[in-house]
Amino acid sequence: MQSRSVIVVGAGIVGCTVAYELARSGASVHVIETRAPGQGATRASAGILAPFIEGHGSTLLRGLGKRSLDLYDPFIAQLRRDSNHPLIYRRNGTFELAFSTADVTRLGELASLLADRGVGGSWIEPPQFPNYEPAASPAALGALLIPSHGFVGVTSLTLAAAAAAENFGARFTMETGAIRIVPIDDGRVGVHTPQLKLDADRVVLAAGSWSSQITVEGVDAIPVTPIRGQLIQLQADAGAIERVVWGPDGYLVPWPDGSVLVGSTVEDVGFDESHTADAVQRLHEVAAGLVPRLAAAEISSVRTGLRPKGPDDVPILGRSRVIPGLVYATAHYRNGVLLTPLTVQLVRALVFDCAADPALADLDPSRLGVRL
């Protein structure tokens, strides 16, 4: 494999894991970030790995999510070895509660679809809840258990990837962001920050919601918009829930320390990263609706992040037509964590000019009808 120098713009989960994969593959990697690793959408993420819930009815997202989920076990094993960091990673399923006959029908149809695809999924009647989630609401009419789903600690994963990237020689420059990306005559790509003028064989643009704020010479604005998500953490008694519990208005994630994450809002409010009282109240109600004993739990923290959303909710991942050395890896919206192992594989193929992966045809920026 040819040696490559690569600048990665942005140190969220996408930037850090891409930096790790590229450095591990022999590239000379330099990451630049306006804040510190994992401080964008990544810090708020619930880390749920659930393509058959979060696919939101999109066959494409479900397929990509399933493929990425299948890569998760080896990805985590490798990262544990290379970083020597503890990682929170559980594959003990999701438990999606139905509260109406419409939910029962929808989840029943999903169970049949999963059976057709060879993915396990079982319908659990309320009398069986004590065997799975004893604290789940008795008002539920049943639940769909999808055993292959799970969750990962997103901050720990991101920091582990940054550490592993550094172990393979990657450099991180924090508190300086790209303001401009420019082509250079010999095919290299330049990245300007307020303080530095850098260049490399390849640049990977992984600045999440902020990708559209970086000027790329000769291309249109990247169509990525921030969608705020708020999430609360409750100090529950240990073992309140065993696995991710999902409902019509939100979800719960059991943290190993006994706390429970409750998510999440979906708000179109620009680049505003503040927490709001109404969101906290709504999320508390979501928690109590799914697991009534959480009504009395103390709120220990609130997290907010800006999900990077593209026009069709599908990531923008591919080479620029205008600056061939520039690779976009952004717009992962609600599935950035789930899609991480697949993303790093695809970016690696683009950076090292490997054979085209069929998934890239669906993710290529050219589909958007703007000059990128």
Ligand X SMILES: Cc1cc2nc3c(=O)[nH]c(=O)nc-3n(C[C@H](O)[C@H](O)[C@H](O)COP(=O)(O)OP(=O)(O)OC[C@H]3O[C@@H](n4cnc5c(N)ncnc54)[C@H](O)[C@@H]3O)c2cc1C
Residues that bind ligand X (CB under 6 A): 9-15, 32-35, 39-42, 44-48, 177-178, 206-210, 214, 229, 231, 263-264, 305, 307-308, 330, 332-338
Q: Residue 146 in contact with residue 96, Cβ under 8 Å?
A: yes
Q: How far is the CB of 131 from ligand X (least distance, A)?
A: 26
- Cβ-based nearer residue to ligand X, 153 or 183: 153
Angle (CA) 127 129 131, round 5°: 105
Q: How far is the CB of 338 from ligand X (least distance, A)?
A: 4
Q: How far is the CB of 234 from ligand X (least distance, A)?
A: 15
Q: How far is the CB of 250 from ligand X (least distance, A)?
A: 10
Q: How far is the CB of 130 from ligand X (least distance, A)?
A: 27
Length of the chain: 372
Token pair recorded at residue 165: 């990237």
- Cβ-based nearer residue to ligand X, 142 or 259: 259
- Cβ-based nearer residue to ligand X, 12 or 289: 12
d(CA 97, CA 275): 27
d(CA 310, CA 250): 22
Going across the sheet that includes 250-254, the strands are: 122-124, 142-146, 94-98, 244-247, 250-254, 260-263, 225-235, 298-309
- Cβ-based nearer residue to ligand X, 148 or 209: 209
Picking from 278, 322, 328, 280, the residue whose alpha carbon sits closest to that of residue 308 is 328
Q: Residue 363 in contact with residue 346, Cβ under 8 Å?
A: yes
- Cβ-based nearer residue to ligand X, 33 or 133: 33
